Structure 1
Amino acid sequence: MHNLTSNTTEILLLLFLIITFGQSGYDKIADWKGNVSWLKQHFANTFLKNYVPLAVFKILVIELIATVLCVVGIFELISSNDPTFAMWGAIVSCLALLALLFGQRIAKDYDGARTIAIYFMVAVFAVYLLAK
């Protein structure tokens, strides 16, 4: 129980990342065609227009890895107070968000980029706390 209470902030941040990337990954899998179609339009005037399906697949893989690492990280924090998996989950989350930010900036979707920056602050804070 002590590990749970001494890592409450970290666990809450990891739950945030799990919800964020778990839902995003699920949405990409459940509605692959819809996501790819929308993103093809979103990137129609960029050099990324021909790479949308591959990019979505790569982002999906990164999001799923981040989710799994965060889930395992919570269990490791609670069971043994080991932050290794949790920190890697937060780091991979940051990498996913940087990739998404890159895409939003290329598409000149500055509102979308601003939203991603908010998520990035949460993920970086998780890395900061877990790098103890």
Structure 2
Amino acid sequence: MKEILFPFTFVLFIMITYGFSFFEKIFNFSDTLGWMKVHFEKTPIKSLIPIGLVVLLIGELITFLLSIYAFHSLFYFDQNDSIEWMMVANIFCLLLMLIGQRFAKDFDGARTIVIYLIPSLLAMIYL
């Protein structure tokens, strides 16, 4: 039971995190874009914010879909191979957000991203 509990729980965590994040950004796209423009207005990447948001949304959607696939693979086939792809997408999104927070000199935001990054990296080792 222990062998399967951690992968299920972690995949479910990723699914919930990225599902909510993606749909929140989609349904509040203009508010999210407005917030990001203000957040990054004093950075060298301020002109890249609209495309950066789209790239982040695509990354979050891919991570969310891969988490659904990984959960399905674990539940029905007892296979965790698909978790690796989900983790790659997850780490990509987290690093993208971390780089953005560092450009914005938002150290509290960067620290929050690292809080998600640490268990993700540990999960890659465990899984």
Corresponding residue for 1:111? 108
Q: How much is the aligned-residue C-alpha RMSD, in angstroms? A: 1.3
Corresponding residue for 1:51? 48
Corresponding residue for 2:10? 13
The answer for unaligned runs of 5 or more in structure 1 is none
Corresponding residue for 2:90? 93
Q: Aligned pair count? A: 127
The CA deviation string for residues 70-93 of structure 1, in whole angstroms up to 9 with x for no partner, is 111011112222212112112210
The CA deviation string for residues 63-120 of structure 1, in whole angstroms up to 9 with x for no partner, is 1101111111011112222212112112210110000000000100000000000101
Give the TM-score normalised by the residue count of structure 1.
0.90
- The 4+ residue runs of structure 1 with deviation greater than 3 A are none
CA contact (8 A) 1:10 1:129 kept: no
The answer for unaligned runs of 5 or more in structure 2 is none
What amino acid maps onto 2:40 in structure 1? F
State how far apart, in whole Å, the 2-side matches of 1:20 and 1:64 are.
11
CA contact (8 A) 1:77 1:83 kept: yes
SS at match of 1:7: helix
SS at match of 2:16: helix
